[in-house]
Amino acid sequence: MSTHTTSLLPILLQADNLPAYTSPFPTVYPLAKRPIVPFHITFKDFQHGLPPVGLVTMDVVKMLSKEKGIKLFQIAREVIRCSQAGKEGNCKAYPDGNCGKKEQGGGKMKKTFKLTVKFLYFTDEVNARGKKGRTECIARILSDWRAEGKFPQAMKLWMDEMFPIYASPKSSMFNASKPATRELFGNIAFEMERAGVSLFGCQAFGVHLTVRYAYEGQGENMKSVAGGLPAGHTPIQGLIKECGSINDQHRNAEGHKTTRSAGIVTYFEIKDEHILPNAEYTYDLPLPCRDSSDYVLPKPNDDEVDSFELLSVQQLIKALRNGEFKPSSAIVTVDFLIRHGFVSPENEPNYEEVVRRCHRRCGASGPGI
């Protein structure tokens, strides 16, 4: 067992960098201290207190206010302001309706109304066309933004790859009288180009496989394969797709049978001034020792992977501390080390927080029946 005592928490905070919140979902973007607006499928979904499909920052809300197919529900709040607003000093209202001393140039108090966006939702016309209508509505908006050069940081990740966006199974868009007819992963509200997922703050799903090799007398060694989970794929199907980067022997039927589902890692990522709830389905694949006749050396099978590197647990932890893993891979790797007892209360001073950071409550909708 590793005897490291320096906390792994700073590594996790690079991936899960949204401060804790007590509401059902985050309501304030921490860097700008501006509201996060929930995005629902229907007006009724908000009324019934269902989880939103997305968490939208105000810069995106402003752009959506100009788009067809999506409505903003706003409330008006009365605000009393001085007509001399902007001058130094505090204003004080007097019975005659003036603000401040007249000899000092005090102005009249004015009543105005401030509009606050409470939530977003699709119009009835879009929802009447179902999943296809919502998918086309979002596709049109994102395509226009891309053509107009809006949100360039997000748009440079455009991959022509659609991701599933889930709604609560209790959403009013589903037929409540026939819940049993829906299949697993059947509560997809619409699909969205991968580059737009962070703009709308929808939950993004991926898969991560950790390959374990046991060396007699030398402990465990690991490799991993990971990728996003596009529309039309269950987690295991997405995993097999990602394993296309490895030679065929590692994605055959035998490998499929020995792959073990190991849970899910959830975390929040602040990405290009937006927030992205992430969920990674995790899998373990134990393989024979390297000196076994059944051992097959993994090799790249396409241009997406340059090489594979086999690491011992000690080398793995050192690589984590040296920042050699991208944050999303690091948090899943730490979860693996926890599950297999390599990170424990005896060697991790912030054990409770480390475990909690691997399993954040995201607040946005995911698969369900």
| pLDDT tens, residue by residue, 200-231 | 999 999 999 888 766 544 445 556 778 899 99
**279 close to 204: Cβ distance less than 8 angstroms:** yes
Task: Give the residue ranges of DSSP H helices in the chain.
Answer: 9-15, 43-47, 58-64, 124-127, 130-147, 152-155, 197-200, 235-242, 253-258, 313-321, 327-339, 351-357
In this predicted structure, the answer to whether residue 139 has a pLDDT above a threshold of 80 is yes
Q: For 232-244, what is the mean pLDDT?
A: 86
Q: What is the pLDDT of residue 335?
A: 96
| pLDDT tens, residue by residue, 29-62 | 888 789 999 999 999 999 999 999 999 999 999 9
**26 close to 55: Cβ distance less than 8 angstroms:** yes
In this predicted structure, the answer to whether residue 93 has a pLDDT above a threshold of 70 is no
In this predicted structure, the answer to whether residue 99 has a pLDDT above a threshold of 90 is no
**298 close to 309: Cβ distance less than 8 angstroms:** no
Q: State how far the Cα of 257 lies from the Cα of 226, in Å rounded to an integer.
A: 18
Going 342 to 345 to 346 to 348, the CA torsion angle's sign is positive
Q: For 104-110, what is the mean pLDDT?
A: 58
Which range is most confident: 164-173, 236-245, 279-288?
Answer: 164-173
The predicted model scores a pTM of: 0.83
Q: For 4-23, what is the mean pLDDT?
A: 88
Task: Supply the DSSP string of 82-142, one letter for each residue.
Answer: ETTTTSSS---B-TTSEES-GGGT-EEEEEEEEEEEEEEEE-HHHHTTHHHHHHHHHHHHH
| pLDDT tens, residue by residue, 113-127 | 677 889 999 999 999
| pLDDT tens, residue by residue, 285-316 | 887 776 776 666 666 555 555 556 777 888 88
| pLDDT tens, residue by residue, 325-368 | 889 999 999 999 999 999 999 999 999 999 999 999 999 999 98
Q: For 221-250, what is the mean pLDDT?
A: 76
How many Å is the maximal CA-CA distance in the chain? 97
In this predicted structure, the answer to whether residue 1 has a pLDDT above a threshold of 50 is no
Q: State how far the Cα of 53 lies from the Cα of 365, in Å rounded to an integer.
A: 5
**197 close to 39: Cβ distance less than 8 angstroms:** no
Instruction: Give the chain's domains with CATH numbers.
Output: 9-16+203-357 (3.90.79.10), 28-76+116-199 (no CATH)
- CA distances to 60, 154, 227, 300, 360 from 271, rounded to whole Å, are 13, 9, 17, 30, 17
Contacts of 347 (CB under 8 A, 6+ apart): 1, 2, 3, 4, 5
Q: What is the pLDDT of residue 88?
A: 44
**37 close to 56: Cβ distance less than 8 angstroms:** yes
- Nearest in space to 213 (alpha carbons), one of 312, 132, 305, 304: 312
DSSP assignment letter at 180: G
Share above pLDDT 70 across residues of the chain, in percent, rounded to a whole number? 76
pLDDT mean across residues, the chain: 83
* The residue type at 253: A
- Nearest in space to 138 (alpha carbons), one of 165, 118, 114: 165
Q: State how far the Cα of 187 lies from the Cα of 167, in Å rounded to an integer.
A: 6
In this predicted structure, the answer to whether residue 20 has a pLDDT above a threshold of 90 is no
- DSSP strand pairing (204-215 vs 219-228): antiparallel
Contacts of 207 (CB under 8 A, 6+ apart): 226, 227, 229, 235, 238, 239, 242, 280, 281, 282, 283
Quote the radius of gyration of the chain (alpha carbons, Å): 25
